[in-house]
Structure 1
Amino acid sequence: MSQHPNVAPPAQPLSPSGRGAATGLAEADGLAALGYRQELRRGVGSFSSFAAGFSFVSILTTVFQLFGLGFGFGGAAFFWTWPVVFAGQMLVALNFAELAARWPVSGAIYQWSTRLAGKVFGWFTGWTMIVGQILTVAVAAVALQAVLPSIWNGFQIVGGSHADATPTSSTGAENAVLLGCVLLVVTTVVTIVSVRVMALVTSAGVVVELIGVSALIALLFFLPKRSATVVLHTTGAASGGSYLFAWLASALMAAYVLVGFDAAGELSEETRAPRRTTPKTIVRAVAVSGLGGGLLILAGLIAAPSLTDGNLASGGLAWVVSQRFGSVLGRLLLCTVAVAVFACTLACQTAGSRMVFSMARENALPFSRTLAKVSPRTGTPITASLVVGVGAVAALVVNIGQTALFTALSSLCIAMLYLAYLGVTGPLLWRRLTGWTALSDGERDEEGHAVFSLGRFGIAVGTIAVLYQAAMVVNLLWPRTAVYDTTGHTWWLRWSGVLFIAGATAVGGLYYAATHRRHRAPSGITVGAVAAAGGAGAPGTVAEAAS
């Protein structure tokens, strides 16, 4: 088979001692050691790398989008789902930071999973991630509906300015698709134009978002209607049934918010000094998002005009802002949320396009040669970006008129991302337990310093992370009518999350079975059986379950 033009001739795996001696490697040389030519342009600095992860998480976008859902299920005490999810995702991020220092390659989730567990397992992990990312782009785009009609009722195009703009109403859901499709056209163009333009726009969006979050938290805390002890009560929770199940359902909001920090890893090939930069920005994105998001939720609960009249569950934080700050200041603050939605959608689409590009250059997707092309003029994978944008539009269009658009797509896309994350943390834990304890021993960053490593805490951190992720996947896919079926009587809608993932996996399986002999494992690694003892931890090797 001829070598793919994007892939450098396979590099021989470096020995641990050789890695330890190799300090201050240039980015291109470091990428060549992993088997790839430098084709994507390195226009992403430290702040832009942080911005990619933070924008994907985007607490303004996601907290505004799903605050009402979380409160509607669990009442004020739903706040406590936030620290639980934050702690679990921080453990996942620490594992990712360690891998980002070792393998700074685009398509991080696919690359890491394949290098840890083999070509077959890695392919299905990458496939799950691509589908999940396309859905995530779609969900991020429809978040505009939670903001724009509150800024100006003229943005409620479907049904007119006096129509119900609530995202769970029929007119609101249809308008959300319209606004989302317009946004996706814009973000697709920006993603294609240049990585520097993308990084600049994302960074500017993050600055606006950080200012907006800080201002909102401060202003809401200065206008309290009740004390912070409100989070010790279930005021506003859905009536009937066990509160535990309602509280678990309310965790959907926190689970949806605190994902996407791996986007910094997706841009590794475009980041300057990625072994030094990316691990820090992954952890920093989760930490800043966790702190800011928790304070924003608490501030919203303290300042809400009422917790019992139903408006907080239906209108969320947009209703609180409009009611508490009046038309001028309230709309100005909501404008910062709209900017955050744009930056979030752009970051999600950029990460998804890099995942498609990374798998395509291994000939692992249909039309791989076209998808893997990098424009010499823009330095971006144009076709891969178009595929993600068109796929997100398709996901919205087929759901037009579905009042469960927000809740169902949100829960489904996050469940798929959690499954893909498990495709990394699970094999990593197994490698640690079977002898690969010195994951980064001897590894050096671009400045010659030891790269980030969990060391002796790796097994404990990995075990808790895997257990948390598995539990959250079950929670997200649980067939709740309030999440997946607002009609309350359509069984296939209620089970649509499980059915969709099963169908997507089956389609991927059929494609893989028909074409797997054409696929390459990621370059720069040795494909073959790993020795049962001792060799399980050898750097540069990967277990191959099937070929």
Structure 2
Amino acid sequence: MPKPAEADDRDLTRAGYVPQFRRGLGSFAAFAAGFSYLSILTGIVQNFHLGYREAGPAFFWTWPVVFAGQFCLALCFAELARRYPFCGGIYAWATRSGSPVLGWLIGWVYLASLVVTLAAVALAWQITLPALWPGFQILDTPARNAALLGIVLIALSTFFNVLGTRWLALLMTTGVVVELVAALALIALLLGHAVRGPAVVLDVGIPGSTAGFGTVGPFLTAAVMAAYVMYGFDTAGTLSEETIDPRRRAPRAILQALLAAAGLGALLLIGALVSAPDLADPLLSDGAGGLPYLITQVLGETRGSVFVAAAALAAFICTLAVHAITSRILFAMARDRAIPFASRLGRVHPEHRTPHVAAIVVGVLGCALLVVNWNAERLITALVCVSIVWSNLAYLLTTGSLLVNRLRGRVSTGDSYLGCWGLPVNVLAVGWGFALILNIGWPREQLYGSEWYERYGAVLYSGVLLVAGVVVYRVVRRGIVR
């Protein structure tokens, strides 16, 4: 009987690929990769103020709604991860379940989203580090200081992503353990300092200023916070070629990561709302305050600093995970000769067994966006919102391709990971994808800016991305492996 790793590599050789990665990720490491990307101590800490600003304490209800929709996507991705255990995640899945052209389009859109996400996550250090020690406020201008700290963070992430999967797995596993312990301790302490009951989540007495859509409008805008946190759960599938027994472990890790992040995130939001000393405090809805300010208020400077430090560590681990998935999608496309400079980007370091060139290029692109943030903070803020549209567009195209295959009878119920539930879950995933893209891309002044070209940034930026994609595709289309 072949060794497990050799059996796993059979899928690669049958697909025409030479196994190049070292399989070292077990069940918990695969889960850690997905949970690191979701990272509630990064996303919620970074964006709590946005949801609170728009809908007050009742913005909590956007969290379970977004989770329900994203869980339908995760179930579809679990099925695809079991069927296609290849590096590249949704790019590889769509290439095989749909067509090389569709896979390329999804890879292009998702890559753009991930590069922006990498820069956005790196900006989280500006929220946490200066709160720990004023000396981290090196530059007077917050936007420029955020860019400086972010560049340092991405440089560290590039180093560890090049160093090897073993170090990457060790860091992400350790970081996730610390984050899980810190999140549970923080939730317990916040609930222990409760000054009101959980009925606060029904309080809409501090509404946002969203125009239109009546009383629903603030909640539609506040949902951006939950949408920003709950994507990237497909990371475990993207690392399939580095996972032992990926057909079994990757699907389970995708679902476990989203479930754990959603459950802990809901408890953290409730803990924050019931323990806030003053719900009318304007700093709760201000980017300069938000959740770090609330934690320090409730727990005091010393204990509060411990959890802010945990949030800073979580941002580092999240950056590692985003960097890892981005570099592997770039590598997977290069391996298929689907992007320019494929011969260089498709290399794996013979000793470290990492896509080192792709990792370096991703780091450079992320730093370039942070340089733009130096003088154009508003532009990057809008681009971060647009990147959520792009990621969910890639998700929609992937689940849409799977749905077409189901309707054409190419996915049998007996062979499906979801069994008889496959079709209804797939339909819900596609419908949810349309709704989420429409909501986040809606021309809102609060998210994009007051000028017309800012408010319609989602459409304009997406148009530029697709036009650029057409140009690049015309260059590489003859080289795409079919």
- Secondary structure of the equivalent of 2:476? helix
1:114 positional shift: 1.2
- Secondary structure of the equivalent of 2:322? helix
1:107 positional shift: 0.4
Equivalent positions of 1:75-224 (< 5 A) are 75-159=56-140, 171-224=141-194
Deviations, residues 255-307 of structure 1 (Å, cap 9, x unaligned): 01001110101100000111111111000001001100111111111111211
Change (3 A) 1:105 1:303: same
1:470 aligns to what?
Answer: 434
Relative to the length of structure 1, the TM-score reads 0.85
Q: Does 1:409 align with 2:370?
A: no
Change (3 A) 1:45 1:156: same
1:41 aligns to what?
Answer: 22
Equivalent positions of 1:42-81 (< 5 A) are 42-81=23-62
1:234 aligns to what?
Answer: 204
Q: Bigger CA drift: 306-315 or 214-223?
A: 306-315
- Secondary structure of the equivalent of 2:12? helix
Which of 286, 295, 298 in structure 1 is aligned with 2:258? 286
Change (3 A) 1:406 1:155: farther
Which of 245, 267, 278 in structure 1 is aligned with 2:217? 245
Aligned residues: 476
Which of 370, 394, 401 in structure 1 is aligned with 2:344? 370
Q: Does 1:432 align with 2:406?
A: yes
1:225 positional shift: 2.1
1:103 positional shift: 0.6
Q: Report if aligned partners of 1:55, 1:202 keep a CA contact under 8 Å in 2.
A: yes
1:508 aligns to what?
Answer: 469
Change (3 A) 1:243 1:146: farther
Q: Does 1:480 align with 2:422?
A: no
Provide the rounded CA distance (Å) in 2 between the counterparts of 1:286 and 1:240: 29
Provide the rounded CA distance (Å) in 2 between the counterparts of 1:349 and 1:299: 31
Relative to the length of structure 2, the TM-score reads 0.96
- Structure 1 runs (4+) deviating above 4 angstroms are 22-25
1:53 positional shift: 0.3
Q: Bigger CA drift: 28-37 or 247-256?
A: 28-37
| Structure with larger Rg | 1
Provide the rounded CA distance (Å) in 2 between the counterparts of 1:193 and 1:345: 15
Q: Bigger CA drift: 109-118 or 394-403?
A: 394-403
Q: Report if aligned partners of 2:36, 2:176 keep a CA contact under 8 Å in 1.
A: yes
Query: What letter matches 2:463 in structure 1?
Result: A
Gaps of 5+ in 1: 1-21, 160-170, 442-451, 522-547
Deviations, residues 372-393 of structure 1 (Å, cap 9, x unaligned): 0001011011110011111111
Provide the rounded CA distance (Å) in 2 between the counterparts of 1:405 and 1:278: 36
1:440 positional shift: 6.7
1:491 positional shift: 2.1
Provide the rounded CA distance (Å) in 1 between the counterparts of 2:246 and 2:29: 12
1:405 positional shift: 5.8
Q: Report if aligned partners of 2:210, 2:218 keep a CA contact under 8 Å in 1.
A: no
Query: What letter matches 1:497 in structure 2?
Result: A
1:446 aligns to what?
Answer: none
Q: Bigger CA drift: 140-149 or 260-269?
A: 140-149
Provide the rounded CA distance (Å) in 1 between the counterparts of 2:414 and 2:85: 13
1:210 positional shift: 0.3
Deviations, residues 330-350 of structure 1 (Å, cap 9, x unaligned): 101111111100000000000
Q: Report if aligned partners of 2:121, 2:319 keep a CA contact under 8 Å in 1.
A: yes
1:200 positional shift: 0.4
Q: Report if aligned partners of 1:81, 1:250 keep a CA contact under 8 Å in 2.
A: yes
Provide the rounded CA distance (Å) in 2 between the counterparts of 1:154 and 1:379: 38
Provide the rounded CA distance (Å) in 2 between the counterparts of 1:377 and 1:94: 36
Provide the rounded CA distance (Å) in 2 between the counterparts of 1:121 and 1:191: 28
Query: What letter matches 1:325 in structure 2?
Result: L
- Secondary structure of the equivalent of 1:56? helix
Sequence identity (%): 43
Provide the rounded CA distance (Å) in 2 between the counterparts of 1:405 and 1:123: 27
Q: Does 1:316 align with 2:265?
A: no
